[in-house]
Amino acid sequence: MTPQQILTRHDRAVARRRPHEISWADAYSHVLPSPGEAPALYDATAADAAEQLAASLLAELTPPWSRWFGLAPACAIADTEEGQAAAFALEGAADILQSQLDRSNFAVEMHQAFLDLVITGTGIMLVEEAPPGEASALRFSAVPVRTAILEEGTTGRLDTVFREARMTTAEVLRRFPFAELPQAMIREGEAEEADPPKHRLIEAIWPDGTGHRYAAVLDAAALKAPLLVAQGRFADGPFIAFRWLKAPGEVYGRGPVVKALPDIRTANRVVELVLKNASIAATGIWQAEDDGVLNPATVQLVPGAIIPKAPGSAGLTPLAAPGNFDVSQLVLNDLRARIRSALLVDRLGTPKDARMTATEVLERSAETARLLGATYGRLQSELLTPLVARSLAILARRGEIPPVLLDQGRVALRYESPLARVQGRADAANTLLFLEAVAKMGEAAASQVDAPAAARWLARTLGAPAEILVPVPSPE
């Protein structure tokens, strides 16, 4: 794309994003206000529930310091000696990647990205290669969705990212020292001005079929046309954008906080009215007769105060409240219950009665998997797979691991997070039930079952390590 085409495409993407910005700002003001803001917040139910949901997603999808993924050879060679050797090598690569994630800032930044996902419905993670000498080769950054402009590609993923910044000429030269700027702008950057003008800089990353292209375009009044100040190429896109829920025809996702925003606003307003009513009930509303002696401006309602009044006058008398506001508690309890249900606190959180049987635990896990089935499938496609692929590509480029070909069918990515294992446990339970039924049918039926093959299948389904299995000899 030419610099002008990049600017035009960026402006179109900004116009498509603008209708979402109002609901995002409202959601943030009620759930996660900025430190500089002073919103009139009276109810913290939504803020607490959103934080719990983000923490639950981190624990269920990418638990810190725990293996939530695995690498295995393709099924065609998995049970052969060649596949067994490949499995050992892939287990080693997965262990190296896990150690790199543990030493990096992945857990901190992933939690922040999940907060953005819960509030706005869209999260963005930037995966970069750390400079040599750092503890980890990977560096992660949670990019606020309000600072990035996204476009959906032909694959259905948000693979085109624009970022806009305002920079002075000196800042542009420090960021892009090899940029070929006009001499007038260079002299402007070298001059020490108190308030130098700032120019618009657009950075864009988009797929081109074999990788991702990068370009930085400077749009300044001193230029006759937009100027390309930098360009490059990525084998894998560094920005990983993922969504909670997507409506047909929309680009950005919809989060549970935006869905529950009407109840969040109403609960906040009800608590405000309750507090005002409590203030009136505690201090009261008073009326005074103008008897020429009582001066309302000097009256102090404190214990032991003596308030003068004229003989025969009523003095200071309380005004009765017009009614009772007890119904507000019923409304507030209902609103808070709906907010917590919308943010899945009662599904992903710890139950009130911790004395549950094993069957109840399995049923609760199965119900959670059903509720998050569509969301988990989208997160697996848009977040987990690109995240592992990008991290493996960086480690392979650094020489930490051999190249792992995830996109050519030679290596299968296996998910081992707590939420992913729910379906595996269900499949294993069905298989064990079948084996138990076959065993009761006698030796003739039992002879139809290949016990070693069943053991290998159960190992793959339950995520058992490859070294505990006996390799199958390759056919001569």
**More confident: 277 or 232:** 232
Q: pLDDT tens digits, residue range 338-360?
A: 999 888 887 665 555 556 666 66
Domain extent listing, the chain: 3-41+62-259, 421-476
Percent above pLDDT 70 for the chain: 79
| Helices within 121-237 (DSSP H only) | 169-175, 183-190
Q: Which helix (H) or strand (E) holds 390?
A: helix 385-398
pLDDT number for residue 9: 92
Q: Residue range 447-459: average pLDDT?
A: 81
Kindly calculate the radius of gyration of the chain based on its CA atoms and give it in whole angstroms: 31
Task: Please give the model's pTM, rounded to 2 decimal places.
Answer: 0.80
pLDDT > 90? residue 118: yes
Residue 137, strand partner residues: none
Q: Which of 183-187, 212-216, 320-324, 343-347 has the highest mean pLDDT?
A: 212-216
Q: pLDDT tens digits, residue range 294-333?
A: 777 777 766 667 677 777 677 667 766 655 556 677 788 8
> Amino acid letter at 116?
D
Q: How far is CA 123 from CA 168, 211, 245, 298, 445, in A?
A: 29, 22, 11, 58, 52
pLDDT > 70? residue 191: no
pLDDT number for residue 264: 92
pLDDT number for residue 476: 47
pLDDT number for residue 348: 61
pLDDT number for residue 407: 62
Task: Provide the token pair at 203.
Answer: 């950075």
**Which of 8-12, 16-20, 127-131, 321-325 is predicted least confidently?**
321-325
Q: Whole-number mean pLDDT of the chain?
A: 81
Percent above pLDDT 90 for the chain: 25
Residues near 173 by beta carbon (within 8 Å), at least 6 away in sequence: 179, 181, 186, 189
Q: How far is CA 371 from CA 285, 353, 356, 379, 451, in A?
A: 51, 21, 20, 14, 35
pLDDT > 80? residue 370: no
pLDDT number for residue 50: 92
Which pLDDT band, with edges at 50, 70 and 90, does 194 fall under?
low
Q: pLDDT tens digits, residue range 62-102?
A: 988 888 888 877 665 555 566 667 777 888 888 899 999 99
